[in-house]
């Protein structure tokens, strides 16, 4: 499982010109599911994400988590995080899990973040989405398990 976490001042997700998710300060999380991923990856990464200290304290040091700052999160499924570009010019996505495997794990990740106290919204699995990101910093973190 791969996460691309962006600290944002605000973010939103739209499908067919309708906004389906919108947050202020928090995290925009792009989540890719690979072959062999399961609940253990979901639970580990949700706990890590909820407590990841990437927000600044009063001294400007990254000592605070999304929970500490009262932030929110949007989770967007993105199988393209498993793109393999080693051969040719067209990415291969054979390492990404099939939708019937990936979707339940994405939903479980959202629930696991909620269980840790993070208010979470989601994208819409399998849809073409417009994601508006106001990356704060910019600060982007790659997590994988």
User: Which residues have a catalytic role annotated?
Assistant: 78-80
Q: Which of 41, 15, 2 is nearest to 131 (CA)?
A: 15
127 contact partners, CB below 8 Å, separation of at least 6: 15, 16
Measured over the CA atoms of residue 60, residue 66, residue 71 and residue 72, the dihedral's sign is positive
Cα separation, 97 vs 17, whole angstroms: 28
The kind and range of the H/E element at 141 are strand 130-144
């Amino acid at each position: 499982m791969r996460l691309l976490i962006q600290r944002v001042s605000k973010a939103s997700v739209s499908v067919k010109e309708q906004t389906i998710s919108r947050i202020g300060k928090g995290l925009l999380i792009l989540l890719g599911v690979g072959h062999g991923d399961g609940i253990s990856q979901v639970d580990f990464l949700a706990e890590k994400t909820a407590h990841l200290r990437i927000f600044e304290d009063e001294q400007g040091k990254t000592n605070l988590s999304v929970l500490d700052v009262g932030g929110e999160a949007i989770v967007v499924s993105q199988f393209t995080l498993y793109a393999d570009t080693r051969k040719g010019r067209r990415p291969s996505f054979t390492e990404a899990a099939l939708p019937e495997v990936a979707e339940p794990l994405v939903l479980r990740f959202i629930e696991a973040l909620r269980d840790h106290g993070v208010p979470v919204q989601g994208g819409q699995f399998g849809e073409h989405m417009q994601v508006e990101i106001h990356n704060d910093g910019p600060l982007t973190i790659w997590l994988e398990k």
